[in-house]
Structure 1
Amino acid sequence: MSSLDYQDRRRLVTPERLHRFFGSRRIAVVGASDSSSWAVNLMGSLRHAGGHKELTFVHPKHNELFGQPTIPNLRDLDEPADMAFILVGPTRVEEILEDAAAAGVKNAVILAAGYGETGDDGRARQHGLAQLALGLDITIMGPNTIGFINAPAGVAPWAVATNRAPLRGPVGAVFESGSMARATHEFAQAHGVGSTLWASVGNSAVMTSLDILEYLLEDEATKSVALFLESVREPERLMELGRKSLELDKPIVAFKAGRSEEGKRSASAHTGAVATDDAVVDAAFRQAGIVRVESIEELVSTAALLGYHGRRPTGRRMGVVTSSGGGCNIIADLAVANGLELPPWDEKTVANLSEHLPPFASILNPLDTTGYGHARARPRPTKAEDDLMEIAVQDPGIDFMFTMMTPLPATRPDDPTFIESRLEILGDIVKNSPVPVFLSSNTCLDVPEYPQRLLASSGLFLMPGGDLAMSSLGSMMRWIDQRDRILARGKTAVRAGDDSAPAIEGAWAEDEGRALLASNGVPMVPAELVTTADDAAAAALRFDGAAAMKICSRAITHKSDVGGVVLGVDGSEAVHAAYERISTAVRRKVPDADLRGVLVSPMRTGGQELLVGITMDPTFGPVLAVGLGGIWVEILRDVSLRVLPVDAATVKDMLLELTAVSLLQGARGATPADVDAVSDVIVQIAQAALALGDRLETLEVNPLRVDGSVVEGLDVLVVTVGDKPAEQTGVPTDA
C-alpha cells in the first residue's frame, strides 16, 4: 500500500499522468546485465511488443549490453527518457531516482523487492521511497513489480518471458500479485483475450491498484476491468469507483484472495494489510456493483465476456444449441448452478427446427443437433449447429443464445475455404441475431493463433470451455442485476456522528441503548426502569398482562447468563418474587456491578424474530447484519450483510436474500411480515448506529419482533469505544 495519503500522491497518479506513464516509448533500463533473467525477459517483452522508440541501457561497469552501447548514469542522457526501468537492488534505488529526477525522467518502474513485504525495516524503507518520489515528482510503479503491458501502444516494460506480441483487446487488468499477473496474461493470450493494459502494481509505494482502475475507467478503449486484490485498502474509493464503472457501463470483475482464515493470514503476510471478513467483502462488492469470481481463470473469462460483448441480455432465459448430447446435459446442470433459465422452445420454433432434424430427435432446450444433422448436405459452408442456432435465435421466449463450438483447425488448412467461409457466416448470424449470442469451446484448451485470427476477423469471441462459459454468463447476469438496482436507487446519504449521544466507553445499559434508538425513531417495546419490587409490580400492572423483567447495568451484557432475566411473569406476587430472584442472582454472580435497576416490559408472543446488528469492520467501517433472531441466529447462521449507509430498498433485498425468508412471507399460515415496514425500521436502527460515528463498536437489536405490520425492538445492546483519531473509513456513497 502507498505510504502516502491520497491527497499527497494525487498529483503523481492522476489519469493524465498515468496516460503518459503507460505510454512511455523512450525507456532507460538501469542496472541490467546480459546474465540477468529479469533483463533478458524484459528485452524479449519489449522486442515482441515492438512499440518503443528508443531503448537506452544505463550501467557504470558495462560498456555494452545486449549489443548496444551503455551510458554510466541517467544524468548522461542527451534528453530525458519517458521512463526508467530500474533493475538494481533496494539499497541503490533511491540514488537512481535522484539521478532520474536530475535527468528530467518523470516515471519509473522498480523491480526490487525488500520493502513493505519484509517487516518493519522494509516498511520504513518503502515509506522513505514514497516520500522521495513525492519530493522528486516522479511517478513510480512498485517496488516489487514485474511492470506492465500496454498492448495498443506496443509498449511492454514487462520482466517476464513472452513468445509473441501482446494481443490488443477491450480488457484492462490490474494485479496485486506479479506471479498472478504473469499467469493470467499467458492464459488470456492463449484464449484470444486481448487487453488495453495488463499491470502488476507490486507494493504500491505510490501507484496503487485503484489509481490504475481509475485510469482504466477513463480510458475509451477499455470496456471491462479485471481486478486481482489481495486486500482492500481504500474501501471508500473502491466503492465510489464501482459506482462510476456502472455509470460508464464498464464492468469491474474482481478476484479477492483470502476467503479462508489461512488465505487471510497469507494475504496479510504478503501485503501487510488488515484481513477483512470475507462475507463483508462480498457484501461491499455487491453494493459497489463489482462482480466477484472464484478463480483467476474465471476472472479472465468473465472480464473478457463483458468486454467483448457490449450487447447484453435483458433476462436470464437462455437458448442452447450444441452438437453434443453430453454437452447438453453438462450445460443444463451448469445453467441451474449459475442461476440461468432454460425455457422450452416456442411452438413455432419447434416446428421450424423439426424441418431440419430427424423424426427421432428430441427438440428440447438445450438442443442436441444429433449426428444426423451433421450428416445432411448443406447449401452453404456451415455446420448443423450454425443453421439450427440461426433458427432458434428467433424464439420469443429467450433472452440470449449459447452454443459450444466444435473444435476449429489449429493451423490453416491447405484449402481454407470452408472454415473461413463458415466463420464469416457465423459472424453474420451473431451480428444479425435479435438476441445476444455467446460462444464457447468445448473444453478449456488453448486456442492457437490461426483460429484466434479467424474468430477475431469475424467479430466473434470464444469463451474458454463450457464450465467457465456458464460461470461467466452467470456472473454477467449478476452484474446486470446489480447495475440496474444500484443506478435506479441513486446514492445514499452518509449520516455524520451525533455529538449529543452519551460519551460512554464500553457497554451501555439497556435503558441508554433504548433511548438512543427511540431518538432515531426506532419503535421499541414499552419498558419502565424500576429500583424496587413494589415499583416493578406497579409497572407490570400498568402493562396489563404477563411481563418480562431484565436486569439493567452497563456491566452486564449477557443478562441471562447471570440470572438477570425472567419472562412471562404474571401477577403482583410473581413480580415481587421475580424482582428478588433477579437481584439476588445478579449480586451473587456479579457482586461489584453497578445496577441501574430492573426493566419491566409487557410480554410479546407470536410473529417472527430478527437480528439486526451493526459492527465496525476494520476495513469497511460500519457493517449491517440482518438475519433470523432469538435462538435461531446461532443455529441457522442465516445472515445478510451490507456496508452502511443503506436505504430501505437495499434492506428489502437483504431480507429477501435470507434462506428462511419464507418465515417472513407467511409460511404455514403465519401472518406475512410487512417487509416495507421492517425495512424502514432497520434503516432507522442503522441510522442510530451511524449517529455514534467512530465511537461505534456494536449496536444490536435482538430480537426485532415482526408481526404483520407491527415492528418493535425487544432488546438492544450498544458498545462504544473512546474517541478515535480521524482516519479514512469505508463508508460508501451508495447501497
Structure 2
Amino acid sequence: MTTLEFAERRALVTPDRLRHFFGARRLAVVGASETSSWGRNLMRNLDAAGGLKDLTFVHPQYSELFGRSTIPSMRDLDEPADLAFLMVGPSRVEPLLEDAAAAAVRNAVVLAAGYGETGDEGRARQQRLAELARELDITVMGPNTIGYVNSSLGIAPWAVASERPPMRGPVSAVFESGSMARAAYEFAQAHGVGCSLWASVGNSAILTSLDILEYLLEDEGTRSIALFLETVREPERLLALGRRALELDKAVVAFKAGRSEAGKRSAMAHTGAVATDDAVVDAAFGQAGIVRAASIEELVSTAGLLGYQKVRPKGARMGVVTSSGGGCNIIADLATVNGLELPAWEPSVVTALAEQLPTFASTLNPLDTTGFGHARARPRATKAEDDLMEIAVQDGGIDFMFTMMTPLPSARPEDPTFIESRLRILGQIVRDSPVPVVMASNTCLDVADYPRGLLEGAELFLLPGAELGLASVGNMVRWIRLRDRVLAVEPPARPPVVEGADEPVGAWAEDEARALLDRHGASMVPAVLVQDAAEAARVAADTDGPVAMKVCSRAITHKSDVGGVVLNVQGEAEARSAFERIRTAATRHAPEADVRGVLVAPMRDAAGVELLVGVTRDPTFGAVLAVGLGGIWVEVLKDVSLRVLPVGAETVKEMLTGLQAAALLQGARGVDPVDLDALAATIVAISNAALSLGDRLETLEVNPLLATVSGAEGLDALVLTKGPR
C-alpha cells in the first residue's frame, strides 16, 4: 500500500540503506509497556536472538521498563540508535519521527495500525507519514507491521510471540501480511527451515516487498526467497528483479493472494489495490522466473528445498526408495500430480537391488524395501532404505532420488549410537551420490530439537511429509525449467509509443486498424475500401477468385452480427448486390453511424490454422498478449496462452507450442506444419503495434490470424482506445 513512487523512495530503500536497517545493533524502543503483549514479545525475541549490542527504552511516563532505565525522548540518546521501534498509536508517530531525525536515527519500524487499511482518512494519514519520512530521510518499515527477524546477525525486533530462538538458514521471506508472516515463520522454525531474514512490510508507506527483494539479491546468507504478495504494485520492477535473481541463481517462490473472485475482493479490501486476472499473474510470474506456491505451507517448504538443496536436478526423472508399500502408492500418485516422471530402473540396478531384497519383493520404481528388508542384518548402522538408495542413485536414467525416512526419535535415546551413526553415514551417502537426493518425512510433523541437530550435523534437509514434499519437488523442477528458459532469451526492448494526431477514441474502423498494423509490419490480407457498388464490382472483377466484403465503420465492431459481412462473393453482379445489402444493414443497425465504406478482400483458402491474437490492458501488468485458437474455438476450448508485453519471437513460439492445440500447428494427421517463424514474427509485430499506443490501448485483436505453411495473415482486426485521463 505504498503511497510514494519508487523514484521518490529510492534514496531511502537502496540495498546499502537496507543493509544498515536490517543490520541494526543499537535499538531504541519507544512507547513500550510491560502490560502490553507487544512489548513483552519484543523483549523475549530480542533476548532470545542474542545479537543486540545496545537497547534503550524511551518513554516519558516510566523511569524503568523491563528492569532497564528509560529516557523521556529519543532526543536524549547519548548516541544515535541504528533503529527506532515505535510502539505507539498513529497520532504519535509523526512527532516521534521528528524526534528520531533530531537524534540522527535514520531507521524506524512503525507498529501502529489505522492507516491505509482503514479508508480515506487512513490513506491520507499514511500519505503524510510517507512524505514526512522522505523529508526527514528516515527509512520506515510499516506502518501496521510486526517487524523482522535477522537470524544471520541474531537480531529480532519482532513484536509477536515466537516459540524458539531464531534458527539461521539460507531462506529469506517477505510478507505483506503480519499474521501470515508470523504463522509461516513458526511453521518454518518447526520444520527445520532456517532463515537469513524474515520480514513483514505492513502497509509499505516507504519500504516495500520489492525493495527488500532487491536487497536480498545481494545478501550472501540468502539462497532462496519466499514472497507473500497481496498485490503487485511495480510489475516491471518485479519482472526485472525476477530475472536478476535467476542470473544470481537465487530462487524466488511466491504465494499471491486473490486467486478467486472472493479472494480478489478480500485482497482489494485489505490493500486498497486493484485486482488483476489470476491467469495474468501466473504468466507474469513465469516470465520473471518466479514459482507460484498454492499455500503458505507449500511456500515455506518449496523455499526451504530450494535454499537447502545445494545440488539441483537437471530434469523431472525421479527415483524413489521408501520403506512403505503404501508410501510407494502415495508417491506414485503425487508424482503424476506434480509433473514428475518415474522411469524403470536400469537392468544393472535391478540386479543389484534384487540381491539385497527377498525374492518376493518387487524392483519397481518407486521401490518398497519391504519389512523383510528391515529384518536383514547390516554391517553398518544403516536401514534398508539407506543401503538400497545408495545402490539406486547409480541409475543413469534418473535425475534425482526421493526418499521418505522412517521417523527419527523426538528426543535423545539412552543409547544414541545407532541413530547418530546412521545420520552421519546417510549424510555421506547423500554427498557421494551422483544425483541430488531429496528427503522427506512420512507426515508433516514438527521436527524436534534433537533430530534437527542430527539433520544439521549430517547436512541433511527433511521436507515436511510426502504431499508437501513432492509439491515442493515439482516446484523445484519447474523453477529450474523457468530459469533455463528465461535466461536463454534476452528480454526484448519496448517499442516507442507513437502519438496519433487524428486517432479515434473508442472503436476504430477496420481500415484504421489495418493501417496501424501495416506500419508495424503485421501482415493482413489485402483489402480495398470502396464507396459504391460500381467500385465494389470493379475490385471484385480484378480479384482472382471470390472476395469477402464487410462494412467499415467505427460504430459497428461486430460486423457479422448486423449482416455487415458477405463471404464468397463471385463476380461483378454479386459484388454490387452484396454492397447494397451491407449498406442497408449498416443503416438499419446504426442510422447515425459514419460508414467509411465497404472493405473488399480476396477470400483465403481455409487450409491453415485460425488463431486469435489479442492484446488487452491488465490493471496491474499493463499490455498482455493472448494467443489461442481463433474463431469460435477460443470460446469453446479456452486454450489460450498469456504473456506480459513486450515479448520476442522465441517467447511467442513457446506460447504457441504450449497450447493444447499445438499439434495442429505442427502438422497433425498429415497436414503440413505452419511456418512457425513467420507466425511468431507476425504476432510480435501485432504486439508492437499494440504497445505503440501506450496507455491509450484498451484492446487490439486480430481474429482470425490465418497460419499456413507459407506464412501468417490477419483476416480481421479490431482496435479500441481510450482518451487522455
- TM-score after normalising by structure 2: 0.98
Letter in structure 1 aligned against 2:91? T
Letter in structure 2 aligned against 1:138? I
Q: Single out whichever of 495-504 and 703-712 deviates more from structure 2.
A: 495-504
Q: Deviations over 1:430-459 (max 9, x none)?
A: 001001000000111111111111001100
Q: Single out whichever of 573-582 and 242-251 deviates more from structure 2.
A: 573-582
Note if contact 1:501-1:692 (Cα within 8 Å) is conserved in structure 2.
no
Q: Quick one: distance in 1 between partners of 2:217 and 2:550? A: 55
Note if contact 1:501-1:516 (Cα within 8 Å) is conserved in structure 2.
no
Aligned to 2:547: 547
Q: Single out whichever of 77-86 and 141-150 deviates more from structure 2.
A: 77-86
SS of residue in 1 equivalent to 2:642: strand
Aligned to 1:347: 347
Q: Quick one: distance in 2 between partners of 1:43 and 1:163? A: 14
Aligned to 1:198: 198
Aligned to 1:732: none
Letter in structure 2 aligned against 1:630? G
SS of residue in 2 equivalent to 1:468: helix
1:20 aligns with 2:20: yes
Q: Single out whichever of 406-415 and 664-673 deviates more from structure 2.
A: 664-673
Note if contact 2:112-2:144 (Cα within 8 Å) is conserved in structure 1.
yes
SS of residue in 2 equivalent to 1:92: helix
Q: Quick one: distance in 1 between partners of 2:707 and 2:537? A: 27
Q: Quick one: distance in 2 between partners of 1:240 and 1:502? A: 35
Aligned to 1:238: 238
Q: State the Cα distance separating 1:710 from its structure 2 match.
A: 2.9
Q: Quick one: distance in 2 between partners of 1:479 and 1:171? A: 16
Aligned to 2:177: 177
Q: Deviations over 1:170-228 (max 9, x none)?
A: 00100000011000000000000000000000000011011110111100110010011
SS of residue in 2 equivalent to 1:316: coil
Aligned to 1:62: 62
Q: Deviations over 1:478-504 (max 9, x none)?
A: 111111111111221111112367522
Compared CA separation, residues 501 and 453, structure 1 to 2 (3 A) = farther
- Aligned pairs for 1:368-407 (under 5 A) are 368-407=368-407
1:688 aligns with 2:675: no
How many residues are paired up? 724
SS of residue in 2 equivalent to 1:109: strand
Aligned to 1:356: 356
Aligned to 2:422: 422
Aligned to 1:575: 575
Compared CA separation, residues 502 and 350, structure 1 to 2 (3 A) = farther
Aligned to 1:263: 263
Aligned to 2:314: 314
Q: Quick one: distance in 1 between partners of 2:430 and 2:466? A: 18
- Aligned pairs for 1:36-51 (under 5 A) are 36-51=36-51
Aligned to 2:656: 655
Note if contact 2:106-2:137 (Cα within 8 Å) is conserved in structure 1.
yes
% same residue: 70
Q: Deviations over 1:498-545 (max 9, x none)?
A: 236752211111011111111211111121111111211221222222
Note if contact 2:491-2:648 (Cα within 8 Å) is conserved in structure 1.
no
SS of residue in 2 equivalent to 1:355: helix
1:144 aligns with 2:144: yes
Q: Quick one: distance in 2 between partners of 1:634 and 1:332? A: 35
Specify every segment of 5 or more residues in structure 1 that has no aligned partner in the other structure, as ranges: 725-735
Q: Deviations over 1:662-688 (max 9, x none)?
A: 222223333322222211111111111
SS of residue in 2 equivalent to 1:489: coil
1:303 aligns with 2:297: no
Note if contact 2:612-2:629 (Cα within 8 Å) is conserved in structure 1.
yes
Aligned to 1:611: 612
Aligned to 1:278: 278
Aligned to 2:493: 493
Note if contact 1:522-1:685 (Cα within 8 Å) is conserved in structure 2.
yes
SS of residue in 2 equivalent to 1:291: strand
Q: Quick one: distance in 2 between partners of 1:571 and 1:496? A: 44
Letter in structure 2 aligned against 1:638? D
Q: Quick one: distance in 2 between partners of 1:259 and 1:4? A: 27
Q: Quick one: distance in 2 between partners of 1:646 and 1:90? A: 45
Aligned to 2:714: 713
Aligned to 1:728: none
1:100 aligns with 2:100: yes
SS of residue in 2 equivalent to 1:415: coil
Aligned to 2:475: 475
- Aligned pairs for 1:85-96 (under 5 A) are 85-96=85-96
Q: Quick one: distance in 2 between partners of 1:267 and 1:169? A: 31
Aligned to 2:10: 10
Q: State the Cα distance separating 1:9 from its structure 2 match.
A: 1.5
Q: Quick one: distance in 2 between partners of 1:251 and 1:226? A: 9
Aligned to 1:676: 677
Specify every segment of 5 or more residues in structure 2 that has no aligned partner in the other structure, as ranges: none
Note if contact 2:373-2:384 (Cα within 8 Å) is conserved in structure 1.
yes
Q: Quick one: distance in 2 between partners of 1:374 and 1:310? A: 30
Note if contact 1:264-1:275 (Cα within 8 Å) is conserved in structure 2.
yes
Over aligned residues, Cα RMSD in angstroms? 1.2
Q: Single out whichever of 443-452 and 668-677 deviates more from structure 2.
A: 668-677
- TM-score after normalising by structure 1: 0.97
Note if contact 1:501-1:691 (Cα within 8 Å) is conserved in structure 2.
no
